[in-house]
């Protein structure tokens, strides 16, 4: 009896299992499981790789790199937008060749550089070209009335024979229709607009509110040569002032007057350089010799000036570059007053301030020692505070500075000694 009951129970359990299996059978293969997003994305990536690597993994954001130091040319073009315009129409460029062809034919022209929506909203009529720029094409299109619109880089001719309709309420000092239109378009859009006078035979550039008439090349060469001669004289005076300042630094006799005089001379040299660069930009390929002379004369002037400011500036809330930029904005009368320079570097303008004894940190002198990295210079100044303490330091004391071994300590000490001897000789030559 017991065996029969056990068999009956087993039979009932087997039948229940079969029924349960039948109920689950239609859902077999369609069971959906929740997969974590990380695993799911990982499987998708593996599947994509297996399918021929059609999709690429998203790249991790790169670490932000420190911005590159702005080049001197870029900074000058930003400060003086006319420089870029002069380089665009300088002799040797295709655009200048086309302008000269129009001048020789005694024709007039109105040329706009740029195709921004604001410029295009002022144009009416004409025809669309979108052709490659050539001097001959510009010359032929100038025979028609209306303006010519070029691309921003002046490499393509976009429109010709178009009428420009600027705001008539914009003031203009010009009297002719062509030049008045050019000035108003430049003021309204900020674009570079070139007007060629048929009667006078001159080329006028308009850039924003700036107006400039291109000069004859012979006149420019004469002005550039005169500027080179002036630059050479001022550079000689600056060199003597720097030698004298270095000698006084070794003797520990520097005053505010000596520093202000060097900064004044350095800024005067840089002003001549900036004026010369406008001539060079306008001369283009004709100014290559002038460019070589200027680069040789002022190779390290700006760097020396910044080092002097860094050596003596007190206050700490401005960099040497910011102070030099503020000096650049001064008038000639302000620059000639040494008390203004004294105030700019943090010593004030009280009576007798120019006779105040001050002490250099040593950036300018230490950079004259060969193979001395900037970080080592910074460590030396942070440790000894000023140049006199560095000069008086023993080899053992120099060796204790981070990054300086015994060999480099000897090199620093010998380098300072040789520099002092050389400066004393140069001072009396």
Residue ranges and CATH numbers for the domains of the chain are 76-214 (3.40.1700.10), 216-360 (1.20.1260.110), 362-429 (1.10.150.20)
Q: What average pLDDT does this structure show over 349-372?
A: 93
Q: Under DSSP, is residue 144 helix (H, G, I), strand (E, B) or coil?
A: coil
pLDDT value, residue 15? 55
* Of 226, 200, 227, residue with least CA distance to 213: 200
Token pair 């700019």: residue: 344
pLDDT digits (tens, 9 = 90+) for 383-404: 999 999 999 999 999 999 998 9
Mean pLDDT of 49-54: 40
Helices 288-297 and 217-251 meet at what angle, rounded to 10? 10
Single pTM value for the model: 0.71
pLDDT of res. 317: 84
H or E element that contains 298: none
C-alpha triplet 356, 358, 360: angle, nearest 5°: 160
Confidence band of 339 (pLDDT split at 50, 70, 90): very high
The pLDDT tens digits for 56-75 are 343 333 333 333 444 555 55
Q: φ and ψ at 112, to 5 degrees?
A: -110, 130
Q: Which among 359, 423, 408 has a CA at the least distance from the CA of 387?
A: 359
Q: Cα angle at 301 between 258 and 226, to 5 degrees?
A: 105
What pLDDT is attached to residue 32? Answer: 37
- Look up residue 77 and give its two tokens: 């073009």
pLDDT above 90: percentage of residues in the chain: 70
pLDDT in tens, 1-35: 444 444 444 544 555 555 544 444 443 333 333 43
pLDDT digits (tens, 9 = 90+) for 154-166: 999 999 999 999 9
DSSP for 358-409, written as a single string: ----SHHHHTTSTT--HHHHHHHHHHH-SHHHHHH--HHHHHTSTT--HHHH
- In this predicted structure, what is the pLDDT of residue 17? 56
Q: Are 113 and 154 in contact (CB under 8 A)?
A: yes
What's the mean per-residue pLDDT of the chain? Answer: 84
Query: What is the rounded average pLDDT of the residues 304-333?
Result: 93
**What letter does residue 248 receive in the DSSP assignment?**
H
Within 10 Å of residue 111's Cβ, how many Cβ atoms? 25
Confidence class for position 380, pLDDT limits 50, 70, 90: very high
H runs (alpha helix) in 25-161? 37-50, 72-79, 81-88, 94-104, 117-122, 135-141
pLDDT recorded at residue 23: 46
- Report angle CA 346, 347, 349 to the nearest 5 degrees: 115
Q: Return the structure tokens found at 359.
A: 């002490």
Token reading at 318: 């401005």
Residues 6+ apart with CB under 8 A from 241: 261, 262, 265
Region 103-126 average pLDDT:
94
Which residues on adjacent β-strands are paired with residue 113? 150, 192
Give the alpha-carbon dihedral of 276, 277, 278, 279, to 10 degrees: 60
Q: How does residue 299 score in pLDDT terms, banded at 50, 70 and 90?
A: confident
Cα→Cα distances 22→9, 11, 46, 53, Å: 20, 17, 36, 42
Express each pLDDT in 212-244 by its tens digit: 999 888 899 999 999 999 999 999 999 999 999
Taking Cα atoms as reference points, which of 112, 96, 94 lies closest to residue 104? Answer: 96
């Amino acid at each position: 009896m017991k065996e029969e009951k056990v068999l009956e129970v087993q039979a009932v359990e087997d039948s229940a299992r079969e029924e349960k299996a039948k109920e689950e059978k239609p859902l077999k293969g369609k069971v959906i499981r929740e997969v974590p997003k990380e695993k799911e994305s990982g499987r998708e990536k593996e599947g994509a790789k297996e399918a021929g690597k059609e999709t690429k993994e998203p790249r991790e954001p790169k670490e932000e790199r420190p911005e590159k130091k702005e080049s001197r040319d870029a900074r000058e073009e930003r400060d003086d937008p006319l420089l870029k315009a002069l380089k665009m129409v300088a002799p040797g460029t295709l655009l200048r060749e086309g302008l000269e062809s129009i001048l020789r034919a005694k024709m007039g022209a109105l040329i706009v550089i740029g195709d921004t929506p604001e410029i295009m909203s002022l144009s009416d009529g004409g025809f669309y070209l979108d052709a490659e720029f050539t001097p001959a094409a510009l010359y032929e299109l100038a025979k028609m009335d209306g303006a010519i619109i070029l691309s921003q880089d002046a490499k393509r001719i976009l429109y010709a024979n178009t009428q420009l309709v600027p705001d008539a309420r914009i003031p203009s000092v010009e009297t002719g229709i062509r030049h008045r239109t050019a000035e108003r378009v430049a003021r309204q859009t900020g674009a570079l607009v070139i007007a060629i006078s048929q009667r006078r035979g001159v080329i006028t550039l308009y850039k924003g509110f700036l107006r400039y008439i291109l000069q004859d090349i012979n006149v420019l060469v004469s002005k550039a040569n005169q500027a080179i001669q002036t630059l050479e004289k001022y550079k000689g005076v600056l060199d003597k002032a720097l030698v004298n300042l270095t000698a006084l630094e070794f003797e520990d006799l520097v005053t505010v007057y000596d520093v202000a005089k060097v900064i004044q001379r350095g800024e005067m040299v840089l002003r001549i350089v900036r004026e010369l660069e406008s001539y060079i930009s306008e001369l283009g390929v004709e100014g290559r010799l002038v460019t070589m002379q200027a680069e040789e004369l002022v190779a390290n002037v700006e760097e020396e000036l910044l080092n002097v400011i860094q050596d003596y500036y007190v206050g700490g809330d401005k960099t040497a570059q910011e102070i030099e930029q503020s000096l650049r904005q001064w008038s000639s009368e302000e620059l000639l007053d040494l008390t203004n320079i004294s105030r700019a570097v943090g010593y004030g303008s009280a009576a007798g301030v120019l006779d105040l004894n001050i002490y250099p940190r040593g950036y300018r002198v230490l950079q004259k020692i060969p193979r001395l990295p900037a970080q080592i210079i910074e460590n030396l100044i942070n440790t000894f505070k000023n140049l006199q303490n560095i000069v008086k330091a023993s080899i053992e004391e120099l060796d204790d500075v981070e990054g300086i071994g015994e060999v480099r300590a000897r090199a620093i000490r010998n380098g300072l000694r040789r520099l002092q001897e050389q400066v004393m000789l140069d001072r009396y030559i």
